[in-house]
């Protein structure tokens, strides 16, 4: 039993293999948070002190008892108007304009299996793998109800949280803010790790103290964003890769989000994850429900590596679906950095010929194949194959490519429309746009109002008509701008950002259902919508438009804290790199791209014979070790922010095989000695280098480490596979 209820004390315990999460419906019906940490089999309510605190507001019903204040107690789902001045999880504007909401316990249910959320992505699990606890809270005056949902995946040490906001009253109310998870940590001094960035520099690791202030990490761009990823770690000061306590909060959502952290006056830390307030005013008529997207929690007492392993497994086994969930992903050759818009059917075919020669599985025809699209200023929304440009039908092109033994994939950007398009000329009212103002233009494109079914249907039908022309086996779903103009001609203003994301999910689900054999790779101007929500529909996401391997090391380092290697689209591209001008050798480019789903984005016809030889070797290596890379335990061995070399490692579940990757990222004269300490090996086993036969014990490799040559030059790399002998 993962979920226990102590009836006498009204204490709920969510037990996983290594953790305990506890809360209590106290004698006033207030749901208090008691504990989240190492597993205990004990009632932890003694931790909560009831002692008078200066300036604390006391509920009226308690009369002169000053020892009870909601502004001091640890709360499971804090609301406004209750004497709690810290961040809150929920704000609802009542019919009379007041915002007070005082939630008290009504009932609860414990069930086998994991709850699901209608229209939203969520962790899934079998009846044996998970249990669900739902706790119903209600405001006795307004009858507003909140159903808190907890999914417990015992073996995975994962707890999920979501909330249903239900209008149980007679008249309309407006939800102004709603979170799915709140953590009140009674003691401890925490750092906050967030993954910030910008287009082409996504998910940069940053660790700072949670001090006496309110901090927030958010996106109000309509997508989860390049700027902040909806994933944070709260780490005790001494937490490192291998030791110390840390908590992860991962929002399973692709739109606006808000994470808030606050260390309060008495040293407790509150962390809240949920929907953003900006532009959000969600009306609920009598009986209506708002579903708040899910947050995935874990607690690790063994540092970040363990935390990452749990999220990697959870995403691989309980978020990603479909035939590519466990399948080795195809190695792709993508036309974008190879040709941009400058291609025709013959050049695409020639790239496929080169792909076949090199051993690449799939050719992707990126942007530029439809309407009159010769640059990025036109034709989005007109999803008709430009047969004049291709010199043949799409079906013919695909057939010729398949005849080479190469699969075919195609790029789409369903949510967007160009001003210069037949679709926009016919339906200028189908975009998101403020009334009586010109729209804001970004990359010369406008955002279609995906809150509207007729808009989605029109795009869906057009895209299906393309996909039905041949054997398409891969789609790259792009999204190349943020949502600036939050206003829909049809959907109520305060619902637009939320309903937009529901529209995206509905479209994605329809696409998956109709084409279950197509692999969909998400993309958003690189990695601007890289989140667990999209991974429910698209098993992999293009990591970044930055393909420079040295920058990519930083991007992939940050990405790896929450997202598995199989989620990260990563390619080898040409040098000098189009963004940074760096000229990194082919071997290092390959090793870095192998920290992802692997592929190429260059024109092989321009490569030297020597480079082609290296590529063939890379492909052989990747195919041999694809399972190890995509599903093995991933370890960060160094930090690219602090160390002169980046090192990471994949280890099979049983520890019998490991792949070590090292890239020298910085160089000074006469290098210091460097040793890389491997992780996760069997200490008393002997591991041999698959290429040279040189062997060491697991303990030696982990404790003494492997010496790097002092002559290793900047941006060169080293990859070695170890097998137990
Ligand atoms: C975005 C993607 C690129 C490419 C272009 C095409 O920027 O991230 O990989 O597909 O769009 O326009």
- What does the pLDDT look like over 96-114, one tens digit per residue? 999 999 999 999 999 999 9
pTM of this structure: 0.98
Distance of CA 206 from the midpoint of ligand 1 (Å): 27
> Candidates 343, 411, 538: which one to mutate for ligand 1, based on the most atoms within 8 Å of Cβ?
411
Residue 474 has pLDDT above 90, yes or no: yes
For residue 560, what are its two tokens?
């790896």
Of 3.40.50.300, 3.40.50.261, 3.20.20.70, 3.40.120.10, which CATH number belongs to 332-413+453-476+519-631?
Answer: 3.20.20.70
Of the candidates 514, 561, 522, the one whose C-alpha atom is nearest the C-alpha of residue 539 is: 522
Mean pLDDT of the chain: 97
Q: Using the CB atoms, write b or e for 618-644: b if 16+ within 10 Å.
A: bbebbeebbebbbbbbbbbbbebeeeb
CATH superfamily of 645-724: Golgi alpha-mannosidase II (2.60.40.1180)
pLDDT of residue 613: 97
Catalytic residue among 353, 419, 611, 689: 611
Distance of CA 340 from the midpoint of ligand 1 (Å): 9
**Three-point CA angle 590, 644, 238, nearest 5°:** 110
What is the rounded distance in angstroms from the CA atom of residue 172 to the CA atom of residue 287? 9
Active site residue 357: no
Place of tokens 């107690």: 73
Q: At 485, give phi and psi (nearest 5°).
A: -95, 90
Of the candidates 535, 500, 497, 536, the one whose C-alpha atom is nearest the C-alpha of residue 415 is: 500
Dihedral (CA of 139, 143, 144, 145) sign: positive
Strand duo 362-365 + 407-412: pairing? parallel
Q: Using the CB atoms, write b or e for 517-537: b if 16+ within 10 Å.
A: ebbbbbbbbbbbbbbbbbbbb
Domain ranges for the chain, please list them.
Answer: 3-318, 332-413+453-476+519-631, 645-724
Instruction: Please provide the DSSP assignment of 486-500 as one string.
Output: ---SSS-GGGHHHHH
Catalytic residue among 531, 548, 551, 601: 531
> Candidates 202, 523, 528, 569: which one to mutate for ligand 1, based on the most atoms within 8 Å of Cβ?
523
> Candidates 544, 545, 596: which one to mutate for ligand 1, based on the most atoms within 8 Å of Cβ?
545
* H/E segment holding residue 358: helix 345-358
Q: Output the 3-class SS for 316-332.
A: HHHCCCCCCCCCCCCCE
- How many Å is the maximal CA-CA distance in the chain? 86
User: Which residues touch 350 (CB under 8 Å, ≥6 apart)?
Assistant: 605
| pLDDT one-digit tens code per residue, 649-707 | 999 999 999 999 999 999 889 989 999 999 999 999 999 999 999 999 999 999 999 99
CATH superfamily of 3-318: alpha-galactosidase from lactobacil brevis (2.70.98.60)
Distance of CA 525 from the midpoint of ligand 1 (Å): 5
| pLDDT one-digit tens code per residue, 311-348 | 999 999 999 999 999 999 999 999 999 999 999 999 99
Residue 119 has pLDDT above 90, yes or no: yes
* Distance, C-alpha 543 to centroid of its chain: 11
Give the pLDDT band of residue 1 (cuts 50, 70, 90): confident
Residue 31 has pLDDT above 90, yes or no: yes
Distance of CA 239 from the midpoint of ligand 1 (Å): 38
- The helix/strand/coil state of 651 is strand
Residue 687 has a CB neighbour count (10 Å cut-off) of 25
What is the rounded distance in angstroms from the CA atom of residue 290 to the CA atom of residue 271? 22
Residue 302 has a CB neighbour count (10 Å cut-off) of 17
Active site residue 206: no
Distance of CA 589 from the midpoint of ligand 1 (Å): 20
Distance of CA 526 from the midpoint of ligand 1 (Å): 7
User: What atom of ligand 1 comes closest to residue 366's alpha carbon?
Assistant: 10
Distance of CA 358 from the midpoint of ligand 1 (Å): 24
| pLDDT one-digit tens code per residue, 423-452 | 999 999 999 999 999 999 999 999 999 999
pLDDT of residue 588: 98
What is the rounded distance in angstroms from the CA atom of residue 10 to the CA atom of residue 140? 20
* Alpha carbon nearest to ligand 1 atom 11, residue: 525
| pLDDT one-digit tens code per residue, 535-594 | 999 999 999 999 999 999 999 999 999 999 999 999 999 999 999 999 999 999 999 999
User: What atom of ligand 1 comes closest to residue 376's alpha carbon?
Assistant: 12
Q: Using the CB atoms, write b or e for 437-466: b if 16+ within 10 Å.
A: eebeeeeebbbbbbbbeebbebbbebbeeb
Is the Cβ–Cβ distance between 31 and 23 less than 8 Å? yes
Q: How far is CA 63 from CA 58, 59, 60, 170, in A?
A: 8, 8, 6, 31
> Candidates 201, 340, 364, 478: which one to mutate for ligand 1, based on the most atoms within 8 Å of Cβ?
478
Residues in the chain: 725
| pLDDT one-digit tens code per residue, 203-244 | 999 999 999 999 999 999 999 999 999 999 999 999 999 999
Residues with CB under 6 A from ligand 1: 336, 366-367, 376, 411, 478, 480, 523, 525-526, 542, 545
Averaged pLDDT for residues 454-460: 98
* Alpha carbon nearest to ligand 1 atom 12, residue: 367
What is the rounded distance in angstroms from the CA atom of residue 24 to the CA atom of residue 6? 9
Percent of the chain clearing pLDDT 90 (strictly above): 99
User: What atom of ligand 1 comes closest to residue 411's alpha carbon?
Assistant: 10
Residue 356 has pLDDT above 90, yes or no: yes
What is the rounded distance in angstroms from the CA atom of residue 500 to the CA atom of residue 452? 8
């Amino acid at each position: 039993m993962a979920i226990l209820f102590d009836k006498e004390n009204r204490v709920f315990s969510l037990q996983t293999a290594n953790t305990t999460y506890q809360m209590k419906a106290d004698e006033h019906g207030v749901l208090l948070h008691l504990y989240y940490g190492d597993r205990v089999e004990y009632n932890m309510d003694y931790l909560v002190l009831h002692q008078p605190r200066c300036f604390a507001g006391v509920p009226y019903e308690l009369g002169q008892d000053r020892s009870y204040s909601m502004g001091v107690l640890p709360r499971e789902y804090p609301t406004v108007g209750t004497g709690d001045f810290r961040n809150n999880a929920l704000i609802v504007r009542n019919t009379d304009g007041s915002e007070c909401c005082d939630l008290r316990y009504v009932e609860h249910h414990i069930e086998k299996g994991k709850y699901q959320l209608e229209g939203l992505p969520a962790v899934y699990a079998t009846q044996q793998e998970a249990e669900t606890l739902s706790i119903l809270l209600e405001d006795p005056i307004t009858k507003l109800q909140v159903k808190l949902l907890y999914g417990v995946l015992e073996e995975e040490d994962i707890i999920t949280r979501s909330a249903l906001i239900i209008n149980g009253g007679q008249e309309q109310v407006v939800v102004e803010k709603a979170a799915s998870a709140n953590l009140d940590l009674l003691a401890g001094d925490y750092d906050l790790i967030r993954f910030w960035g910008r287009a082409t520099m996504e998910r940069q690791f940053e660790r700072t103290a949670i001090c006496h202030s309110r901090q927030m990490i958010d996106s109000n761009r309509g997508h989860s964003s390049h700027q902040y990823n909806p994933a944070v770690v709260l780490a005790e000061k001494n937490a490192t890769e291998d030791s110390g306590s840390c908590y992860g909060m991962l929002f399973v959502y692709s739109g606006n989000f808000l994470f808030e952290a606050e260390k309060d006056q008495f040293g407790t830390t509150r962390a809240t994850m949920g929907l953003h307030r900006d532009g959000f005013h969600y009306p609920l008529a009598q009986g209506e429900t708002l579903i708040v997207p899910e947050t995935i929690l874990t607690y690790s007492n063994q540092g970040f590596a363990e935390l990452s392993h749990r999220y990697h497994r959870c995403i691989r086994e309980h978020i990603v679906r479909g035939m590519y969930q466990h399948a080795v992903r195809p190695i792709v050759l993508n036309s974008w950095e190879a040709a941009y818009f400058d291609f025709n059917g013959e050049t695409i075919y020639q790239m496929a010929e080169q792909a076949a020669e090199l051993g690449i599985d799939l050719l992707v025809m990126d942007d530029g194949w439809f309407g009159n699209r010769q640059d990025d200023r036109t034709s989005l929304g007109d999803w008709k194959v430009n047969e004049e440009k291709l010199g043949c039908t799409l079906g013919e092109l695909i057939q010729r490519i398949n005849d080479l033994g190469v699969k075919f994939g195609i790029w789409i950007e369903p949510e967007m429309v160009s001003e210069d398009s037949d679709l926009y000329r016919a339906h200028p009212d189908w975009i998101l746009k403020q009334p009586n103002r010109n729209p804001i233009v970004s990359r010369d494109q406008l955002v279609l109002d995906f809150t509207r079914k007729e808009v989605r249907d029109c795009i869906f039908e057009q895209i299906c008509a393309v996909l039905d022309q041949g054997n398409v086996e891969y789609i790259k779903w792009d999204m190349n701008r943020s949502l600036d103009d939050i206003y829909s001609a049809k959907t109520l203003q305060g619902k637009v950002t939320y309903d937009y994301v529901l529209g995206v999910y509905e479209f994605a689900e329809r696409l998956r259902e109709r084409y279950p054999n197509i692999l969909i790779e998400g993309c958003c101007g690189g990695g601007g919508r890289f989140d667990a929500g999209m991974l429910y529909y698209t098993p992999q996401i293009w990591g970044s438009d930055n393909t420079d391997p040295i920058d990519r090391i930083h991007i992939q380092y940050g990405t790896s804290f929450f997202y598995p290697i199989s989620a990260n689209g990563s390619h080898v591209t040409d040098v000098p790199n189009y963004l940074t001008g760096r000229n990194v050798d082919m071997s290092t480019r390959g090793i870095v791209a192998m920290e992802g789903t692997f592929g190429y984005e260059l024109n092989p016809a321009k490569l030297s014979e020597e480079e082609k030889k290296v590529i063939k070797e890379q492909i052989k290596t990747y195919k041999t070790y694809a399972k190890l890379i995509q599903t093995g335990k991933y370890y960060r061995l160094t930090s690219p922010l602090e160390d002169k070399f980046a090192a990471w490692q994949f280890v099979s579940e049983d520890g019998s095989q490991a792949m070590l990757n090292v890239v020298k990222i910085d160089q000074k004269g006469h290098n210091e000695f460097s040793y890389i300490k491997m992780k996760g090996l069997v200490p008393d086993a002997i591991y041999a280098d698959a290429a040279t036969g040189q062997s060491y014990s697991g303990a030696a490799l982990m404790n003494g480490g492997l010496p790097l040559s002092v002559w290793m030059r900047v941006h060169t790399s080293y990859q070695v596979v170890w097998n137990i002998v």
